[in-house]
Amino acid sequence: MTATPPPTGSPAPTGSPAPAGPAVPAAAPPLAGLRVLDLATLFAGPLAATLLGDFGAEVVKVEHPSVPDPSRGHGPSKDGVGLWWKLLGRNKRTLTLDLSKAGGRRTLLRLAATADVIVENFRPGTLERWHLGWDELSAVNPRLVLARVTAFGQFGPYAHRPGFGTLAEAMSGFAAITGEPDTPPTLPPFGLADSIAGLATAYAVMTALTARDRTGRGQVVDMAIIEPILTVLGPQPLWYDQLGHVQPRTGNRSQNNAPRNTYRTADGTWVAVSASAQSVAERVMRLVGRPELIDEPWFASGAERARHADELDAAVGAWIAHRSRAEVVDAFEKAEAAVAPVQDVRDVMADPQYAALGSVTTVDDPELGPLRMQNVLFRLSETPGGIRWAGRPHGADTEEVLAELGLDAAERAALRAEGAV
């Protein structure tokens, strides 16, 4: 078997992206020919569109003329340019359009007629108020897939509440099991629920497009951000239903196996150890000089080992505390026991495994120069994805997209006069 080379970023193409629908060369990216309109903001919907764009879809980012996607201003910036947007907006052309104005509505319907997918995350009823709901969109394009990403879904008692991923992290049970037993529930310091929902939305869109290949008709994707994170939390509802079991906060420990924790090394860094498999647990105890524990009756069960986590952590922690991180990782690797350094972003950027995979790539950007960012999500051996350009300025492609849509200079001027673009 030959190794698949990692995908790499590439500069923006000189020509315009291909319109939706026509045949594409066999070597083209797998989603070439697919047109996506990204109407969403912060963060799940736009991430889904980014993932589609990474594998060749033509993505047009639609933003309000005077209120850009807030991700442009989230987090650190350089020379007044938001860096988060450079990641989230990659492989997207940018168009300004005020959907609440008549000209904006007409233009979006014309765009929808050419599109395969629309991703939006307005509160339920907003598109309908603008006469841009599913009835109007599917009337101009019966093959359209409309992905609607909201905190709580399109119906139910919470549907009209404002919401963000933080609320999903709280409601789903994630925060309740995260943190030390005697400390408050812990929220993640990044958009975890949004990111999981973005991944799920991209999968849902591809599922709907596959169904369209059979039926000839598009459909609505109703993605509630509170649901995908509930799925990845595993069997908690099943445990509660069948056993009344409520998973507690256990810090870095697990109720299902031990040793499993983070441990401080002699040079002041940290490593994580996991012994989910029985064979690995035995190797760890031999490595740290406590092979007699393997013969204990309780050691043969992951759940029983978890009940003796204090003893196991003491043994593993004492051994690690007398060695540097490099020594610990090297010894665990030789013993075929599972360990990883607890890395911050500086370590990640220098990590040889990430380097071998091409997980971080360099993209040339006309505003900021070379940018290092996460590469596309996975590798395909025959039709890899790639990064053609980083996030573009607000409205940078408005004139080009409108001209491609067939609007002449007078029509474009009328939209500008109305404030619709």
Residue with tokens 């996991």: 274
pLDDT tens-digit profile of 363-393? 999 999 999 999 999 999 999 999 999 999 9
In this prediction, residue 27 carries a pLDDT of: 75
**Residue 310, φ and ψ in degrees, nearest 5:** -60, -45
pLDDT at position 19 over 60: no
% the chain with pLDDT above 90: 92
Residue 404 tokens, joined: 């491609």
In this prediction, residue 24 carries a pLDDT of: 57
Q: Which of 98, 194, 365, 397 is catalytic?
A: 194
User: 54 near 383, Cβ under 8 Å?
Assistant: no
The residue type found at 364 is D
CA 120 to each of CA 12, 84, 132, 220: distance values in angstroms, whole numbers, following the listed order: 25, 19, 11, 11
Residues whose CB is less than 8 angstroms from the CB of residue 95 and which lie 6 or more positions away in sequence, other chains included: 60, 61, 62, 63, 395, 397, 398, 401, 402, 421
Question: Distance between CA atoms of 177 and 199, rounded to whole angstroms?
Answer: 23
Question: Distance between CA atoms of 212 and 91, rounded to whole angstroms?
Answer: 25
Contacts 24+ apart (CB under 8 A), 205-211: 205/48, 205/52, 205/117, 205/119, 205/145, 205/147, 208/145, 208/147, 209/34, 209/116, 209/117, 209/145
364: part of which helix (H) or strand (E)? Answer: strand 360-365
pLDDT tens-digit profile of 157-185? 999 998 999 999 999 999 999 999 999 99
User: 131 near 125, Cβ under 8 Å?
Assistant: no
| Radius of gyration of the chain, Cα coordinates, nearest whole angstrom | 25
Q: Render the burial of 295-327: b for 16+ CB within 10 Å, e for the rest.
A: eeeebeebeebbeebebbbebbbebbeebebee
pTM over 0.85: yes
In this prediction, residue 13 carries a pLDDT of: 35
Average predicted confidence (pLDDT) for the chain: 93
pLDDT at position 188 over 80: yes
Question: Distance between CA atoms of 154 and 166, rounded to whole angstroms?
Answer: 19
Residues whose CB is less than 8 angstroms from the CB of residue 235 and which lie 6 or more positions away in sequence, other chains included: none
Which has the higher per-residue pLDDT, 3 or 203? 203
User: 399 near 21, Cβ under 8 Å?
Assistant: no
Residue 54 forms beta bridges with which residues?
none
pLDDT tier at 21, thresholds 50, 70, 90: very low
Q: Which domains does the chain have, with CATH numbers?
A: 35-232+358-418 (3.40.50.10540), 260-349 (3.30.1540.10)
Question: Distance between CA atoms of 371 and 367, rounded to whole angstroms?
Answer: 10
Residue 194 falls in the annotated catalytic set: yes
Question: Distance between CA atoms of 225 and 203, rounded to whole angstroms?
Answer: 14
Of 105, 106, 157, nearest to 126 by C-alpha is: 105
Question: Distance between CA atoms of 353 and 182, rounded to whole angstroms?
Answer: 36
The stretch 68-83 carries a mean pLDDT of 94
pLDDT at position 3 over 50: no
User: 52 near 27, Cβ under 8 Å?
Assistant: no
Residues whose CB is less than 8 angstroms from the CB of residue 253 and which lie 6 or more positions away in sequence, other chains included: 260, 261, 306, 309, 313
User: 236 near 176, Cβ under 8 Å?
Assistant: no
CA 161 to each of CA 85, 124, 254: distance values in angstroms, whole numbers, following the listed order: 26, 9, 35
In this prediction, residue 42 carries a pLDDT of: 87
pLDDT at position 11 over 80: no
In this prediction, residue 347 carries a pLDDT of: 96
Residue 385 tokens, joined: 């994805």
